[in-house]
């Protein structure tokens, strides 16, 4: 019994992906929305025994919700059937992979990581806990994205680099060297903001 935490835009996208994957959600858990949303009920408190999937784009907010709501509760994972996951990809609890995404061989998607529409993740890449790759972003092979990293729409992270925990790669940026934890980088080539 899958319930999606967050009834905003991403929550509706995840509900669509879950339906396409043959795991239709029962509803949304959201203390700010009123239902129904996308034809599903909205509740403030998760039902007993619910499998929860946090569908919030901001990694730090997602982590807070995971700690508050999901601790001790099984977390679902949703992979849209039009996404491509190559051999050896490890998908952790709470992961979301949306339509058209491509994840190459032996990549690791850490707990509650997200790979959005049309994004690519290269071979042997590791996405830390709650790392997020937004639509159309490209993460090359052997990259390490730390916990809570956000890679913006259309950004590129080149081969073999590390992006430290909590860092933000701005939309359209091209990362050509390692990014320090907590840094925000923008531009081509990406530089600290």
Q: Is 49 annotated as a binding residue?
A: no
Sheet architecture: strand order including 162-163:
90-91, 108-109, 126-127, 144-145, 162-163
Residues 54 and 87 in one domain: no
Q: Same structural domain for residues 65 and 141?
A: no
d(Cα 91, Cα 70) in Å, to the nearest integer? 17
- At which of 70, 103, 130 does a domain end? 70
Tell me if residue 123 is catalytic. yes
> For residue 190, is pLDDT > 80?
yes
Q: Which of 70, 87, 105 is the last residue of a domain?
A: 70
Strand order in the sheet with 156-157: 84-85, 102-103, 120-121, 138-139, 156-157, 174-175
Q: Are residues 159 and 82 in the same domain?
A: yes
- Regarding whether 122 and 98 lie in a shared domain, the answer is yes
pLDDT category at 74 given cuts 50, 70, 90 is: low
Residue 34 in this model has a pLDDT that exceeds 90: no
**Please, which residues have CB within 8 angstroms of residue 157's CB and are 6 or more apart in sequence?**
137, 138, 139, 140, 143, 145, 151, 163, 169, 175
**Which CB contacts under 8 angstroms, 24+ apart, belong to 92-98?**
94/53, 94/54, 94/66, 94/70, 96/14, 96/17, 96/53, 96/55, 97/17, 98/13, 98/14, 98/17, 98/135
Together in a domain, 90 and 62:
no
Q: Are residues 134 and 192 in the same domain?
A: yes
Tell me the pLDDT band of 29, cut-offs 50, 70 and 90.
Answer: very high
- What's the structural domain count of the chain? 2
Out of 80, 112, 116, 123, which one is annotated catalytic? Answer: 123
The residue range of the domain holding 16 is 2-70
Side by side, which strands form the sheet with 150-151? 78-79, 96-97, 114-115, 132-133, 150-151, 168-169, 184-186, 191-192
Q: Give the CATH number for residue 32.
A: 3.40.50.20
CATH number at residue 137: 2.160.10.10
CA angle 178, 171, 161 (to 5 degrees): 15
Section 73-87 average pLDDT: 90
Query: Could you give the CA distance from residue 15 to residue 60 in angstroms, rounded to a whole number?
Result: 21
101/9 same-domain check: no
Q: Give me 178's structure tokens.
A: 């390692």
Determine if residue 30 is labeled as part of a ligand binding site. yes
pTM above 0.85, yes or no: yes
Q: Is 94 left (phi over 0), alpha (psi -120 to 50) or beta?
A: left
Give the Cβ contact number of residue 34 at 10 Å.
8
> Does 151 lie in the same domain as 56?
no
Q: Give the end of a domain, one of 17, 42, 70.
A: 70
Instruction: Give yes or no: residues 36 and 112 share one domain.
Output: no
Instruction: State pLDDT tens for residues 129-184.
Output: 999 999 999 999 999 999 999 999 999 999 999 999 999 999 999 999 999 999 99
Instruction: Please tell me whether residues 45 and 127 are part of one structural domain.
Output: no
Six-digit token string for 76: 């679902």
Judge if 50 and 97 occupy the same domain. Answer: no
Shared-domain flag, residues 85 and 156: yes
Q: What is the mean pLDDT of the chain?
A: 95
Q: Residue 58 annotated as binding? A: no
């Amino acid at each position: 019994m899958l319930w999606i935490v967050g009834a905003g835009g991403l929550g509706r996208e995840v509900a669509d992906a879950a339906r396409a994957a043959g795991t239709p959600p029962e509803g949304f858990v959201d203390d700010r929305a009123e239902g129904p949303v996308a034809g599903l009920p909205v509740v403030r408190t998760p039902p007993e025994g619910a499998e929860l999937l946090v569908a919030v784009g901001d990694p730090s907010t997602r982590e807070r919700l995971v700690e508050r709501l999901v601790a001790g509760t099984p977390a679902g994972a949703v992979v849209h059937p039009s996404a491509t996951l190559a051999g050896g990809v490890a998908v952790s609890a709470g992961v979301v992979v949306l339509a058209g995404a491509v994840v190459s061989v032996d990549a690791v998607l850490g707990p509650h990581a997200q790979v959005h529409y049309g994004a690519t993740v290269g071979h042997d890449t590791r996405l830390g806990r709650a790392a997020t790759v937004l639509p159309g972003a490209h993460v090359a092979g052997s990259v390490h994205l730390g916990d809570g990293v956000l890679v913006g729409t259309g950004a590129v992270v080149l081969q073999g680099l590390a992006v430290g925990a909590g860092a933000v790669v701005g939309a359209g940026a091209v990362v050509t060297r390692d990014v320090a934890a907590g840094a925000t980088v923008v531009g081509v080539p990406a530089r600290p903001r």
